[in-house]
Amino acid sequence: IDMLVNNAGIFEYVTPDTTTLDHWKRTIDVNLTGLYIVTWAVKDQMVERKFGRIVNMTSISGLRSRPYGIAYSASKAGVIGFTKSASEALIPFNIRMNAVAPGLIASSGMDSYDEDYRNVLRGLQGKVPLQSFGTEAELAAAVVFLLSEASTFVNGAVLRVDGGVPTARHTWAMPATAAPTRSRPWTTRPRSAAATACARAKSSRPSSARNSSPSKRCAPTPRPPPPAVPAPGWWSSYSP
């Protein structure tokens, strides 16, 4: 075996309060442990021949939050960690390992999703900058690139095939009915009357004199302490 694509994986649309230990184990076993088992089963052959190309299928869910797929997101983040660590360990034997992180890809597997999750996908499609789902052919092209000699200087990388979805923005949002309602007053720093008066006086001075000396600067408003930790919610019922 010269080339390996670890593509086996499962995803179940599970809400946080219905996530179970069985679901967690099943997802981790298939998406992460299975990947390790197959890779370790073939790596000795590659080490002996001093040649190997491995591509691991992760997901953009491994790069960002996904509250309605906690186990899935954790397993795919594990794939990324495995790829980065194992690629460094195997590269002395001319074995390159990389990962592909798909976004929304139209596939026959979508037929198994229930209507609730299909509605979620329809909403997410509009948040993709390219305004569409990716195709299986586009995803396969990324895998072929990483297996080919066109990527000889690529190792330990995570190639995103997601239509440009920004990882910094929370796209996999919970429905509005499930959004947290707890306010967070410590994220803002309301000014006291003295601080407001100081700021107004400072803004009325010429710009060259506003920061002329430390004594003329407004004293910072103390940040209020954070609120008490809320009472346990759905996670309090967890029992291994």
Whether 72 sits among the annotated catalytic residues: the reply is yes
Secondary structure (3-state) at 35: helix
Contacts of 185 (CB under 8 A, 6+ apart): 224, 227
Pick the catalytic residue from 13, 72, 117, 238: 72
| Pairwise CA distance, residues 75 & 6, whole Å | 13
Is residue 186 within 8 A of residue 223, CB to CB? The reply is yes
Burial category of 39 from C-beta neighbours within 10 Å (exposed 0-12, middle 13-18, buried 19 and up): buried
Question: Which residues lie across from 114 on neighbouring strands?
Answer: none
Instruction: Tally the residues of the chain.
Output: 240
| Pairwise CA distance, residues 135 & 125, whole Å | 13
Nearest to 41 by CA among 6, 10, 91: 6
Residues recognised as catalytic: 72
